[in-house]
Every structure is written in structure tokens, then in C-alpha cells.
Amino acid sequence: MKTKTVKRNSVPAGSKPDKLWQLRLYVAGQTPKSLTAFANLKKICENHLKGRYRIEVIDLLEQPQLSKGDQIVAIPTLVRKLPVPVRKIIGDLSDTERVLVGLDLRQAA
């Protein structure tokens, strides 16, 4: 059912379904919010993008200079670097439906 969802939704989004998804999660330290966000992201990717995604976690406390490039204000922020266009999703990604919409994995209802 989950795979079905991916197939059904990724194709009409216009992006090539076999292309690698590059996701970047910005966090600031190991806060509960960051951990939740990462866990949620992992789950969503496994469910919808199995084998086609790569997650990069950037801890701004360690590399603050990286905050500039993606115009990070809120933490946590998930940035979809690929496929273009770039999309940003803020929050701990607990609202799966909204994440899917934000990632363009599902049309907004």
C-alpha cells in the first residue's frame, strides 16, 4: 500500500521517479525536536522513497556557517535540494500529510 502510494503520486508530480532525492535536515544540537524530526523523516522516506533518497543532517551548532546557504531561520528545517525546485519544510515533521504535500509527494487535498 505504501509503495503503491509512492508510485501513484511521484509520477504525476512531474519529476523522474527514478531520480535520487536529496534531502537535507537542519538541526541545532540533539534536541528532542531534532530527534523527532529525524525519526519522522526517516519513516516517511522509507515509506515513500525507499531506495531513492539520501538524507544529510546538518547540525548548525557544529557548522553554523551552513545556515546561510539555505536561508535557515527555523529549526528543524527540511530542505528538498533535489529534485528541483527547492522546497522547505519546517517543524518536527510530525504532520505526515503536510510533509508529503510539502515534499510534493502528494497533492494537497
Partner 1 sequence: MKTNGHKPASMAVQLPKCPTGIQGLDEITGGGLPRGRPTLVCGGAGCGKTLFAAEFLVRGATQFDEPGVFMSFEETGAELKANVASLGFDLAGLMRRKKILLEHVHIERSEIHETGEYDLEGLFVRLNLAIDSIGAKRVVLDTLEALFAGLPNEAILRAELRRLFRWLKDKGVTAVITAERGREQLTRHGLEEYVSDCVILLDHRVNDQIATRHLRVVKYRGALHGTNEFPFLIGDKGLSVLPITSLSLNHEVSNARIATGIPRLDAMLGGKGFFRGSSILLTGTPGTGKTIISANFAQAAARRGERVLFFSFEESPHQIIRNMHSIGLRLEPLVKSGLLRFHSARPSLYGLEMHLATMFKEISAFQPRVVIIDPITSLMDSGTDSETKGMVTRLIDYLKAGQITSLFTSLTQGGHTLQQSEAAMSSLMDSWILLQDFEGNGERNRVLYVLKARGMAHSNQIREFLISNRGVDLVDAYIGASGVLTGSARAAQNSLEKAAVLAGQQEAAQLKREVERKRTALERQISGLRADYETEAVELRRIAEQVGTQTRLLSTERTELGRLRQADVSVAAGAHRKFKPKIGKL
Q: What is the DSSP string of 23-69?
A: EEEEESSS-HHHHHHHHHHHHHHHHHSTTSEEEEEEETTT-GGGGTT
| Residue 25 in the binding site for partner 1 (CB under 8 A) | no
Q: Which of 8, 43, 86, 107 binds partner 1 (CB under 8 A)?
A: 86
Shortest gap between Cβ of 100 and partner 1 (angstroms)? 9
| Residue 107 in the binding site for partner 1 (CB under 8 A) | no
Measured between alpha carbons, how far is 47 from 103 in angstroms, rounded to an integer?
13
| 9-17, 46-54, 61-69 -> range binding partner 1 (CB under 8 A) | 61-69
Shortest gap between Cβ of 30 and partner 1 (angstroms)? 12
Judged by CB under 8 A, the number of residues near partner 1 is 33
Give the Å distances, CA to CA, from 1 to 4, 7, 24, 48, 100.
Answer: 5, 10, 26, 10, 15
Measured between alpha carbons, how far is 92 from 71 in angstroms, rounded to an integer?
18
| Residue 65 in the binding site for partner 1 (CB under 8 A) | yes
- Report the residue number, 10 or 75, with the smaller CB distance to partner 1: 75
